[in-house]
């Protein structure tokens, strides 16, 4: 996508439409979609993909990135390697899968993707905490990983 007009048209389409398919996403595909929604600051999609969090709004606060920056971000997301590293059964309604991203060859801490009431959702707390630090704010609540109990 070298044309800024084409990129802008695609981004407008994505940001104003529900672009999640009706079929269930795999944990890896969910993390890929979450990364894109995070780059776009797409509130409806972030809410749909993440577990509830009292500070989730920090992910879409502020101005949306400029088209030129989004082009670079989208190209860099293509280089992120995402793999499932551990599946842990927690009963029929609460499966947990650990998914790990490798960015520029550097492994990041594993992310937790949980199946809650039949749908995979991401524990976005690590992203929320980074956003809060960037905004210079403290978390509203001390949210632990209650799903690990």
Q: Could you write out the DSSP letters of every residue in 59-99? A: GT-SPPPPHHHHHHHHHHHTT-EEEEEEEE---TTEEEEEE
Report the half-sphere exposure of 126 (CA within 13 A, side-chain side).
13
**What is the rounded end-to-end Cα distance, in angstroms, of the chain?**
45
List pLDDT tens digits, range 79-127: 777 776 666 665 554 577 778 777 777 777 788 888 888 888 999 999 8
pLDDT tier for residue 16 given thresholds of 50, 70 and 90: very low
Token digits of residue 96:
């947990």
pLDDT of residue 107: 76
Q: What rounded mean pLDDT belongs to the chain?
A: 76
The pTM of this model reads 0.72
Least Cα distance to 78 among 41, 103, 105 occurs for 103
pLDDT of residue 20: 47
For residues 120 and 6, give the distance between their C-alpha atoms in angstroms, rounded to a whole number.
Answer: 32
For residues 103 and 43, give the distance between their C-alpha atoms in angstroms, rounded to a whole number.
Answer: 24
Q: Cα separations (Å) of 43 from 37, 59, 92, 103, 128?
A: 8, 8, 29, 24, 13
């Amino acid at each position: 996508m070298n044309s800024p007009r084409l990129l802008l048209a695609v981004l407008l389409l994505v940001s104003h439409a529900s672009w999640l398919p009706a079929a269930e996403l795999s944990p890896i595909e969910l993390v890929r979609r979450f990364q894109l929604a995070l780059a776009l600051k797409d509130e409806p999609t972030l809410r749909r993909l993440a577990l509830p969090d009292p500070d989730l709004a920090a992910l879409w606060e502020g101005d949306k990135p400029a088209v030129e920056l989004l082009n670079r971000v989208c190209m860099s997301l293509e280089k992120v390697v995402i793999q499932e590293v551990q599946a842990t059964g927690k009963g029929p309604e609460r499966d947990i899968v650990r998914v790990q991203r490798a960015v520029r060859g550097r492994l990041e801490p594993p992310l937790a993707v949980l199946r809650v009431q039949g749908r995979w959702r991401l524990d976005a707390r690590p992203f929320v905490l980074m956003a809060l630090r960037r905004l210079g704010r403290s978390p509203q609540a001390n949210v632990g990983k209650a799903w690990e109990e």
